[in-house]
Amino acid sequence: MNRVFNFSAGPAVLPESVLAEAQEHLLNYHGCGFSIMEASHRGPQYDAVHQEAVANLSTLLGLSDDYQVLFLTGGATAQFALVPMNLRGAGQSANYSLDGAWAKKAVAEAKIMGDTHVAGDFTAAKPLRCGSPADLDCPEGAAYLHITSNETIEGVQWKEWPETDAPLVADMSSEILSREIDVSKFGFIYAGAQKNLGPSGVTIGIIRKDLLDRAPDSVPSILRYKTHADANSLKNTPPSFSIYMVCLVTRWLLAEGGVAAMQTRNERKAGKLYDTLDASAFWSPSADPAFRSPMNVTFRIANNDLEPVFLEEAAENGLVAMKGHRSVGGIRASIYNAFPEAGVDALVSFMNAFEAKHG
């Protein structure tokens, strides 16, 4: 069967060479006679994978010794709870930028456990946008400021980082390793792997080490970042196959030229789509141009009735999984690092043909 161009928002496309390599070694991992899936997480085969995944992420993100990579579970959703549990002291408040649907869930979870201040609410904005430094009201003395650096559903992205007296915490699930970032501006970064990094099952955390001691005594040990940091993310059995895939994907990223090369490619890919959307009133891009995401390109067709036809005809042409999230509707093309540029070119050609036929 031929592979199609998969625009899924996540789990999402993986580099074909990575899938082929995993397949090649699936039954017999480099001659050891069993699969890496069947290897002990304390054995030499998995240990090498684990160490390489940590090292590759550190290299790609340019981490200094002040930061540590964590492999966590429960998706980014678990982090919505674990961030306030670990980083907000008793009686302290935390600032949140309400950037979109995912930020709303993070705020809801933070409110369960303590004082949560909404520093800016961008969820009703039309066209769609997220926060920017000038638009936040951040009272001083907060435990941290939380942002969703790329809102997957709306297709909007932070372009400039806010600076306050509190550490910056970012949900980078749908953009990690897609553009160069200065990690020193952040206290904690987290990202589910299933968009830019690998399959689902593992969540990457990047923590500034001085924040590891913040969790109050009431937090159970397995829910503490410090527990996982002290054990190099091997306190309990980690999602070893997912981490193996992250190891292969990060190896691929390094071979492709790292984050800088990805950023150049991602900007070119997204630029082709946004140029097509801007070229004619047939299309209606959903995001404010100043906040457009290069990862999730969201748009409507001016005549909304044509959207189901678009999705159906696109799928017939091997362009699948572009239905917008049910909360915003319309169309969404997710074009993460591993999404091939040829797929973007195919979509542009299809859009031009679709407009000629239906416009």
Query: According to CB under 6 A, which one of 71, 146, 157, 171 is a site residue for ligand PMP?
Result: 171
Interface of this chain with ligand PMP, residues 96 to 115, rule: CB under 6 A: 102
Q: Is 227 in the site for ligand PMP (CB under 6 A)?
A: no
Which residue type is seen at 296? Answer: N
Under 8 Å between Cβ of 202 and 71: yes
Q: How far apart are CA 204 and CA 69, in angstroms?
A: 7
Q: How far apart are CA 17 and CA 39, in angstroms?
A: 23
* Least Å from the CB of residue 155 to ligand PMP: 11
* Least Å from the CB of residue 255 to ligand PMP: 26
Q: How far apart are CA 315 and CA 322, in angstroms?
A: 9
Closer of 80 and 310 to ligand PMP (Cβ): 80
Residue 175 pairs in a beta bridge with: none
Q: Is 102 a catalytic residue?
A: yes
Q: In what order do the strands lie in the sheet with 188-192?
A: 67-72, 203-208, 188-192, 168-171, 145-148, 93-98, 115-121
Q: How far apart are CA 358 and CA 72, in angstroms?
A: 47
Interface of this chain with ligand PMP, residues 191 to 220, rule: CB under 6 A: 192
**Segment contacting ligand PMP (CB under 6 A): 64-72, 123-131, 167-175, 264-272?**
167-175
E strand intervals along 106-239 = 115-121, 145-148, 150-151, 156-157, 168-171, 188-192, 203-208
- Output the CA torsion sign for 128, 271, 308, 174: negative
Closer of 190 and 350 to ligand PMP (Cβ): 190
Say how many Å lie between the first and final Cα of the chain, rounded. 33
Closer of 152 and 227 to ligand PMP (Cβ): 152
Q: Which residue is nearest to ligand PMP (CB)?
A: 75
* Least Å from the CB of residue 122 to ligand PMP: 14
Which residue type is seen at 52? Answer: E
Q: Is 177 in the site for ligand PMP (CB under 6 A)?
A: no
Q: How far apart are CA 205 and CA 188, in angstroms?
A: 7
Interface of this chain with ligand PMP, residues 117 to 146, rule: CB under 6 A: none
Interface of this chain with ligand PMP, residues 1 to 30, rule: CB under 6 A: 10
Q: Which one of the listed residues 102, 158, 252, 283 is annotated catalytic? A: 102
Residues binding ligand PMP: number (CB under 6 A): 11
Under 8 Å between Cβ of 266 and 258: no
Query: What does the DSSP 8-state code read for residue 323?
Result: B
Q: Which one of the listed residues 104, 158, 195, 323 is annotated catalytic? A: 195
Q: How far apart are CA 223 and CA 147, in angstroms?
A: 21
Q: Which one of the listed residues 171, 252, 269, 323 is annotated catalytic? A: 171
Q: Is 173 in the site for ligand PMP (CB under 6 A)?
A: yes
For the window 142-161, what string marks contact with ligand PMP as x by the rule CB under 6 A? ------x---x---------
Q: Is 195 a catalytic residue?
A: yes
Taking Cα atoms as reference points, which of 173, 172, 170, 211 lies closest to residue 192?
Answer: 173
Query: According to CB under 6 A, which one of 6, 97, 116, 174 is a site residue for ligand PMP?
Result: 174
Under 8 Å between Cβ of 67 and 203: no
Closer of 39 and 119 to ligand PMP (Cβ): 119
**Segment contacting ligand PMP (CB under 6 A): 74-82, 181-189, 260-268, 339-347?**
74-82
Q: Is 76 in the site for ligand PMP (CB under 6 A)?
A: yes
Q: Is 233 in the site for ligand PMP (CB under 6 A)?
A: no
Instruction: Please identify every residue annotated as catalytic.
Output: 102, 171, 195
> Which residues here bind ligand PMP, judged by CB under 6 A?
10, 75-77, 102, 148, 152, 171, 173-174, 192
